Amino acid sequence: MIGYLKGQLVEISPEAALLDVGGVGYEVLGSANTLSDLQSYYGKEVILWVHTHVREDAFQLFGFVSKEEKNLFLSLLKVNGVGPKMALSILSGCRVEQLCNMIEGGDAKALSTLPKVGKKTAEQIILTLKGKLVLLEKNEGGVKKKAPQVHTEITSALLNLGYKPLAVEQFVSSLPKDFDVEEGVRKGLAALSNPL
C-alpha cells in the first residue's frame, strides 16, 4: 500500500492533483480543501498522505495535505453506507476540526447540510464515530487543541441558520477564544449576511 507520495505538483483539476514522482505521474483524488490548499504549490515538491483504494474495476489514490484529514477520511469509511467518493464529498464541505466538532457534538442537523449527507447518513456517522475519533497519534508533538466550547456553540448556531460551513469556519476562527456566544452569533449574522 502507498502511505504517502512526495513529488512535484504538475496539475490540479476540480477533483484531483497530478504528482510527478520520479518521472511517474500519479493522479491523486482530493477533497476541495486539499486541492485548494495545494493551489500555491504548482511546480513545487509536495507531500500527500495517501489512501489506496482497490476495487475489481478501479485502482484509486486519495490524497490529503494533512494526516488528520486522512485519518478522518479513514474513519468515515467505517460508517455504513459511506464510500470513498462520499467521504471525500463530506470532507469537501468543511474543515477537519469543524467536522469533528459536529460529530462529537452529535449535531446531525449541521452534518446533514454537507454534500451528499442526508438525515439518516448524518445520524449513522454520529452513531459510528462519536467518541471514537483519533486523528493524530499522541506521540506526534503537534496535536491540535480542540476548538473552545464557545467556538463550537457559535459554529453550530450559524450552521443551523443555514450558512455555508467554510464561511462559518473562517469567521469563527477569527474570533478571540473568550468570546461570548450571543455576541459571536450576532457578529456572525452581520458578517455572513453581508460578505465583502
Report d(CA 61, CA 73) in Å as an integer.
Answer: 13
49 and 72 within one domain:
no
Helices and strands, counts by H and E, the chain = 9, 5
155 and 128 within one domain:
no
Beta bridge partners of 60: 53
- How much is the mean pLDDT over the chain? 84
Q: What is the CATH number of the domain that holds 189?
A: 1.10.8
116 and 90 within one domain:
yes
Which of 57-66, 81-90, 105-114, 133-142 is least confident?
133-142
112 and 152 within one domain:
no
What band does 20 get if pLDDT is binned at 50, 70 and 90? very high
57 and 76 within one domain:
no
Which of 28-42, 74-88, 141-155 is least confident?
141-155
Which helix (H) or strand (E) segment holds residue 29: the answer is strand 24-29
For residue 177 the three cell numbers come to 477564544
User: Strands, E, within 22-145: which ranges?
Assistant: 24-29, 45-55, 58-64
170 and 126 within one domain:
no
For residue 100 the three cell numbers come to 469533528
**Which has more confidence, 152 or 94?**
94
User: Given CA atoms 116, 64, 169, 125 in this order, what sign does their dihedral have?
Assistant: positive
Domain count for the chain: 3
93 and 50 within one domain:
no
80 and 32 within one domain:
no
For Cα atoms 79, 80, 86, give the angle at the middle one, nearest 5 degrees: 70
Beta bridge partners of 6: 47
Condensed to tens digits (0 to 9), the pLDDT of residues 131-188 reads 887 665 443 333 344 455 677 778 878 877 878 777 777 788 777 766 777 888 888 8
Percentage of the chain exceeding pLDDT 90? 35
Across the range 70-93, mean pLDDT stands at 92
Domain that holds residue 152: 147-196
pLDDT at 88 over 70: yes
Q: Of the residues 65, 81, 109, which one is the last residue of a structural domain?
A: 65
Q: Of the residues 37, 65, 93, which one is the last residue of a structural domain?
A: 65
pLDDT at 51 over 60: yes
137 and 89 within one domain:
yes
113 and 49 within one domain:
no
Q: Of the residues 143, 164, 186, which one is the last residue of a structural domain?
A: 143
